[in-house]
Amino acid sequence: MIYLIPTPIGNLEDMTLRAIRLLKEVDLILAEDTRVSQKLLSHYEIKTPMQSFHMHNEHKKVNQIIDQARLGRTIALISDAGTPGISDPGYLLVHHALKEGIEVECLPGATALIPALVQSGLPADRFIFEGFIPPKKGRQSRLEQMAKEPRTLIFYESPHKILKTLDQMIPYFGSERKVAVVREISKKFESNFRGSLKEALHFFEQNPPKGEFVVVVEGNSNK
């Protein structure tokens, strides 16, 4: 059995009771970064053995993990923050596990995109999640494609690229397209900017961006 267990994206109190119990009960925890996860495990007095499992070693380790699960060991996969598989390692392990007939269960829990969407003030009945926009190859074509999308768009961005991304979006989306930029969700310095793309760019030019961002953009209303 393999469990995908969401972990807090900022506030440790967002950990669910079931997640804590399972992390104590499983035989092994796979963590994106054991140094980061150790802080969480120590906080909740979880002493389960832990191994690293991330984008740089998952292809080498996935068969070994599948073998352990096949022998009856229960395994939990966690990422540094949020739900495994959402812009984090997880897909490869799930794909191989299901192919081998191993049961997989994902617990409900923390993720950055849903709170950002719901508090954005933009339509939440239909939306599309784009993850991280490609940094180089395919970036312009992705922006052009996204600009035509009628549903609300959600994507993640780093503080080093948020200004570049907002600036590059304007020629495709238009300077008046509504946007919500949410920073550091659930953390002490969480902040929300709501306005047009032009206003957002100006705001972050005046206020140097820090932390992790979720960007929610109004869909294209042109028919």
CA atoms 187, 54, 46, 86: torsion sign: positive
Six-digit token string for 128: 């599309």
Between 222 and 52, name the one with better pLDDT: 52
- Which CATH fold topology does 113-217 show? 3.30.950
Give the pLDDT confidence score for residue 208 in this predicted structure.
87
Integer Cα distance of 145 and 155 in angstroms: 14
Integer Cα distance of 91 and 80 in angstroms: 15
Six-digit token string for 203: 């705001």
Cβ(204)–Cβ(163) below 8 Å: yes
Task: State in words which class domain 2-106 has.
Answer: alpha beta
Integer Cα distance of 136 and 128 in angstroms: 21
pLDDT(162) > 80 = yes
Q: Domain limits of the chain? A: 2-106, 113-217
pLDDT in tens, 63-78: 999 999 999 999 999 9
